[in-house]
Amino acid sequence: MVEQQTKQVFTTGEVARVCKVSQQTVIRCFDSGKLQGFRVPGSRFRRIPRDALMRFMKENQIPLDQLDSGKKRVLVVDDDEAIVDMFSDLLARDGRFEIATAKTGYEAGIITEKFRPDIILLDFKLPDINGNAVCRTIRANPTYEHIKIIILSGVADPEEVEELQSSGIDDFIRKPFDIKIVIARMTELLSMN
């Protein structure tokens, strides 16, 4: 289940399970062009990308439960393990969020592509690149346009804060913080209320 929620490419048998129809129906739809996909080069095996499947299910009013849990996906990026653990506990306890974590800017990029988070809680001072650079990279990709970014940092220099705010973030919260304020800002940005 969880696997299907993060899977990017599906076989016809997997699509039949997600959509709760027969495999033959899926093959017919694929062959008629109703379900977009491709064949594996050198064979006749059919493959359907996640986006095409989502589109097909929405068009045919098939419930998305099997693909989407309904929880908001949160990527927590911080090199401080205690911070990451604290957020994991906090957000798990809240119950409305799915969580992925990264310790470096590079790792954050890879996980963003796989996990497709709805919101990123980003530390400013990372071991490889700074948070504002990560932010700029994500903002440069239109696919990730919908992702909300909150920077959480212990920096006190007003000039640095100003610079961060101009790099395309949605909010800046100074550490240490009030957890109620952090959750409030997240739900607000994700229109969860």
Partner 1 sequence: MFACVESQHEQSAPGRERVALVLGHLDQLPTLPGVVGRLLQVTSSEESSADDVVNIIKSDASMTAAVLRLVQRADLGLHGKAMTVAQAVTLVGFRTLRNALLSSQFCSVFADDSDNTEAADARCELWKHSLAVGCASAMIAERGQGGRWVDEAFVCGLLHDIGKIALDACLPKSYALVVKQTERRDECICDVERETFGLDHTAAGKHLTTRWGLPECIVECAWLHHQDPNTLPSSVTSVDLIRIVHLADNLVRRERIGYSGYQYVADLSESAKALGLDSHDIDSITEALPDRVKSFCAMVGADGLFDSVMDTEALIAANRQLADINDRLARDNRDLEIRSSYFSALEQFIKQAPPQGGIADVCAAAAQALAQLVKSRRAMGVWTEPATECMHLGAVDLTDGRIDTLVVALTNGDVAESKNAAVDGADASWCCPAGSGLIEAPITIESIWRRCFSDGFDERLWLLPLRLGNGAPGGIIVEGSPATVGKLSGSTEECELLATAIAGTLAATHQRIATGRMSEELLDHNRRWQAAQKQLVRVRSIAMVAKMAAGAAHELNNPLAVISARAQMIVASCDDGETKSSLEIMLDQTQRASAIVMELMHFAKPPQPQPILRRLGDALESLCQHWRGVSSIGADRMKLMVVDPAATVFVDPIQLREVLDAVMANTLDATSPETAIVKINSPSHASDETVRIVIEDNGVGMTPKVLEHAIDPFYSSRPAGRGRGLGLSRAHRLVALNGGRLRLDSRPGKGTTVRIEFPARAPGS
> Which residues of this protein are in contact with partner 1, per CB under 8 A?
80, 82-83, 86, 89-90, 93, 125, 152-158, 174-180
Cα–Cα distance measured from residue 113 to residue 108, given in angstroms and rounded to the nearest whole number? 9
Report in angstroms how near the CB of residue 81 gets to partner 1 at its nearest: 10
Between 54 and 179, whose beta carbon lies closer to partner 1?
Answer: 179
Burial class (CB in 10 A: 0-12, 13-18, 19+), 140: exposed
Quote the least distance from Cβ 32 to partner 1, whole Å: 54
Q: What is the DSSP string of 34-99?
A: SS--EEPTTS--EEEEHHHHHHHHHHTT---TTT--SSEEEEEE-S-HHHHHHHHHHHHHH-SEEE
| Backbone torsion region of residue 137, taken as left when φ is above 0, otherwise alpha when ψ lies between -120 and 50, otherwise beta | alpha
**CB nearer partner 1, residue 120 or residue 152:** 152
Choose between 154 and 168: whose C-beta lies nearer to partner 1: 154
Q: How far is the CB of 118 from partner 1 (least distance, A)?
A: 21
Q: Which is nearer to partner 1, 83 or 190 (CB)?
A: 83
DSSP state of 143: G
Question: Do 67 and 90 contact (CB within 8 A), yes or no?
Answer: no
At closest approach, how far in Å is the CB of 90 from partner 1?
Answer: 6
- Nearest distance, CB of residue 76 and partner 1, angstroms: 12
- Measured from the CB atom, the residue of 64 and 181 that comes closer to partner 1 is 181
